[in-house]
Amino acid sequence: MKVPLLDLKPQYQSLKKELDEAVAKVIESQYFILGPEVKAMEEEIASYLQTKYAVGVSSGTDALLIALMAIDIQPGDEIIVPTYSFFATAGVVSRLNAIPVFADCDPVTFNILPEDIEKKITRKTKAVMPVHLYGQSADMDAVMAVAQKHNIKVIEDGAQAISAQYKDGRYAGTIGDIGCYSFFPSKNLGCFGDGGVVATNSQELYEKLVMLRMHGSKIKYYHDIIGGNFRLDALQAAVIRVKLPHLNKWSQARRDNAALYTKLFIEKGLASESGMTSFDDNNKVLIPKAVYENTGHKNHHIYNQFIIRVEKRDELRKFLTENEIASEIYYPVPFHLQTCYLELGYKKGDFPNSEFAADYSLALPIYPELSEAQITFVVEKIAEFIRK
Ligand SMILES: *Cc1c(COP(=O)(O)O)cnc(C)c1O
């Protein structure tokens, strides 16, 4: 049985007529850059997220970059970021000649450790960038408390977490100063190419974000600040508008898949419960934990990825590949051990939780249209490998 990591075709087939019509409408209008589709999408996203403003941008990476520009990050400023995330989180800091300062992650949620943020704060610290990794909100109460105490900004990387809810019901990405989201096709809400959006409740930041997106101009050809071309295509906005009403349903399907994986791993004796952090005979597989599950909010985890940890991770991955089961390693090298950051002077052992995650994590297929038979097959094959 073939089990791909992600198959976007069934989702497209289920909405083909609406999507094709929406795209055709944009083509008919020949209005490709920003315009009414982007404006309507921004209003719908802001209304969904319950923020005052949303601004469509060219990608999730550019969402992070423009957010840092909006809070006026200057060369030499320090921004605290988790060392275990997708590279964009740190890359955008360096692109502004600011300095990414790394923090370790929580061993259960993989999200930034608030106590580590406080340790890294200096006079140069301007902001912290929590990432809502794999579709679950970071511990925002603790992050906000540290940020407020030290008067630094909070830019949330919600690229993997649009629609995920924090324990109080607020959406991940709407709690700090600016939330950044990606519409990359593999995210829970994906467009037909690159795209993203930023959300904020601050009118001042909103106005600045809109200017920065258009080379820093409010009035065409008059430039008050230096921005860039961070615009979103109308075609992408039209696709997002068709898909947004289905987002909660897709996230629920991912949660159902995660629940099935969890049940099967426990039934097979490979795991004892969710959220364990070290291997033993009853926990050959460490399965993820939705820490806000009992808060009564449906979207407590949107499982952009379902991450297990296993000791012989690379051998297991090879075995799964031989059995036509796709998997992926997110992320094999934390930022502090990346070649491009050697000059920052970190070493192996500096961030044990992140290094543990990087060494043992494996992402299993979790997309909404996966069948029960496919998930059962994946767990059976993992059991077979472990018992070998
Ligand atoms: C995908 C992702 C990004 C970047 O988004 P793009 O749209 O691919 O530029 C940033 N941060 C995280 C955590 C991501 O997963």
Q: Give the pLDDT confidence score for residue 366 in this predicted structure.
A: 98
Select from 195, 216, 245 the last residue of a domain.
Answer: 245
Radius of gyration of the CA atoms of the chain, in A: 21
264 CA → ligand 1 middle, Å: 31
279 and 199 within one domain: no
Which of 185, 220, 245 delimits the end of a domain?
A: 245
The residues, ordered by sequence, that sit 6+ positions from 357 with a Cβ below 8 Å of its Cβ are: 84, 105, 107, 110, 309, 334
Asked if residue 241 lies in contact with residue 37, where contact means CB atoms within 8 angstroms, the answer is yes
Q: Are residues 288 and 224 in the same domain?
A: no
Ligand 1 binding residues, C-beta < 6 A: 59-61, 85-86, 88-89, 131, 157, 159-160, 182, 184, 194, 196
Give the domain CATH number at 126: 3.40.640.10
Question: Could you tell me the two tokens for 322?
Answer: 């031989």
Domain that holds residue 125: 9-245
Is 223 part of a structural domain of the chain?
A: yes
Looking only at the bridges linking them, the beta strands covering 306-310 and 361-364 are: antiparallel
- The whole-number pLDDT of residue 335 equals 98
Domain assignment of residue 38, yes or no: yes
Quick one: tokens of 195? 């795209």
Domain match, 238 and 303 both: no
Query: Do both 241 and 252 map to the same domain?
Result: no
Nearest CA to ligand 1 atom 13: 86
* Domain end residue (candidates: 199, 227, 245): 245
CA distance 257 to 375: 8
CA distance 113 to 105: 5
**How far is Cα 227 from Cα 220, in angstroms, rounded to an integer?**
13
Question: Do both 20 and 128 map to the same domain?
Answer: yes
Within a domain: residue 4?
A: no
Domain count, the chain: 2
CATH (domain of 301): 3.90.1150.10
Please check whether residue 225 is in contact with residue 213, taking contact to mean a CB–CB distance below 8 angstroms: no
* Residue 361 forms part of a structural domain: yes
Instruction: Indicate which residue's Cα is closest to atom 1 of ligand 1.
Output: 159
Tell the residue nearest (CA) to atom 14 of ligand 1. 159
- Peptide bond before 331: cis, by omega within 30 degrees of 0? yes
- For a pocket test of ligand 1, which of 157, 189, 307 has the largest count of ligand atoms closer than 8 A to its C-beta? 157
Q: How far is CA 29 from CA 37, 39, 200, in A?
A: 11, 15, 30
- Whether 177 and 37 map to the same domain: the answer is yes
Is residue 191 within a helix (H) or strand (E), and if so which, with residue range?
A: none
Hey, which residues does 3 pair with through a beta bridge?
Answer: 325
182 and 304 Cβ atoms separated by less than 8 Å = no
pLDDT of residue 45: 98
The answer as to whether 168 is a domain residue is yes
Classify 220 as helix, strand or coil: coil
**Are 99 and 158 in the same domain?**
yes
378: three-class secondary structure by DSSP: helix
Instruction: Please state whether the predicted TM-score (pTM) of the whole model is above 0.95.
Output: yes
Do 165 and 120 fall into the same domain? yes
The conformation of residue 222, written as its DSSP 8-state character, comes to E
Cα 61 to ligand 1 centre (Å): 6
Report CA(195)–ligand 1 centroid distance (Å). 10
Same domain, 257 and 380: yes
pLDDT per residue, tens digit, the chain (388 aa), is 999 999 999 999 999 999 999 999 999 999 999 999 999 999 999 999 999 999 999 999 999 999 999 999 999 999 999 999 999 999 999 999 999 999 999 999 999 999 999 999 999 999 999 999 999 999 999 999 999 999 999 999 999 999 999 999 999 999 999 999 999 999 999 999 999 999 999 999 999 999 999 999 999 899 999 999 999 999 999 999 999 999 999 999 999 999 999 999 999 999 999 999 999 999 999 999 999 999 999 999 999 999 999 999 999 999 999 999 999 999 999 999 999 999 999 999 999 999 999 999 999 999 999 999 999 999 999 999 999 8
Residues 51 and 192 in one domain: yes
